[in-house]
Amino acid sequence: MTTRILIADDHPIVLAGIRDVLAGELDLEIVGEAADPATLIELMTRTRPQAVITDYSMPGGDHFGDGIKLISFLRRSFPDTRLLVLTMVSNPSLVAAMYAAGAGGVVLKSHGLGKLVQALRVVLADRAYRPPGLLPLAAGEPADADAVRARLSPRELEVIRLFTGGMSVGDIARQLQRSAKTVSTQKISAMRKLGVESDQALIEYCLQASLFA
């Protein structure tokens, strides 16, 4: 008896890599591939797979969303399907949020796909798979607003507040009467201090920490 697997990623090379990794597993069958959240959900409704391997961040998620929102939606709508998330995000707070939203396992793309089959089998056994080498949150350092504010300078915090509120770097520069280069440098510095690697990860980190609630 084969186990039905759906895979989703907006990068064809990643989909090809997943196919190659799973090709030698005779009991695993890929029943569909998606490059955006809408296609993934349509395929899940039609094929009812036992597990989904999905990218954390995919474009075209205007209706269903992506990231934490998509994971939560999949978990609510398909509670019997195991979710394995692929991501470039290595921030412990965001990874913890993925598990809280319903991911059964997280595989870091920076580690390659070598652990994918192991992670998938752990998830299919209804156990949680954690990526090796992921640093946990330091003791006494919860992802709360006070802890986050303590890491940032007042100017970095101001830039991040405006950015997560929907303003572009150029808009922020004009409002604060600074150069775009200065604002960009402050934003990058804040992201480095918070351990996030993309704009989406930054926004979701701030949401998880209720930084500007």
Residue 102 corresponds to which amino acid?
G
Residues 41 and 98 in one domain: yes
Residues 11 and 99 in one domain: yes
The answer to pTM > 0.75 is no
Residues 81 and 110 in one domain: yes
Dig out the tokens for 91 from the structure.
């921030």
Q: Strand pairing partners for 28? A: 3
- Compute the distance between CA of residue 206 and CA of residue 31 in angstroms, rounded to an integer: 36
Say whether 32 sits in a helix, a strand or coil.
Answer: strand
Per-residue pLDDT of 65-112, as tens digits, reads: 678 888 889 999 999 999 999 988 777 777 877 887 889 999 988 888
Residues 113 and 156 in one domain: no
Nearest to 97 by CA among 157, 153, 137: 137
Residues 184 and 84 in one domain: no
**H or E stretch covering 7:** strand 3-8
DSSP state letter for 89: -
Per-residue pLDDT of 174-195, as tens digits, reads: 999 999 999 999 999 988 887 7
Residue 34 lies in a domain: yes
CB within 8 Å of 28: residues ≥ 6 apart: 2, 3, 5, 22, 120
- Compute the distance between CA of residue 172 and CA of residue 149 in angstroms, rounded to an integer: 19
Residues 158 and 199 in one domain: yes
Radius of gyration for the alpha carbons in the chain, expressed in angstroms and rounded:
19
Per-residue pLDDT of 109-161, as tens digits, reads: 888 888 899 999 999 999 989 887 664 444 334 455 666 677 788 999 999 98
Torsion of CA 205, 206, 208, 210, to 10 degrees: 170
Residues 106 and 14 in one domain: yes
- Structural domain count, the chain: 2
Query: Which domain range does residue 35 map to?
Result: 3-125
**At 45, which CATH number?**
3.40.50.2300
Residues 22 and 103 in one domain: yes
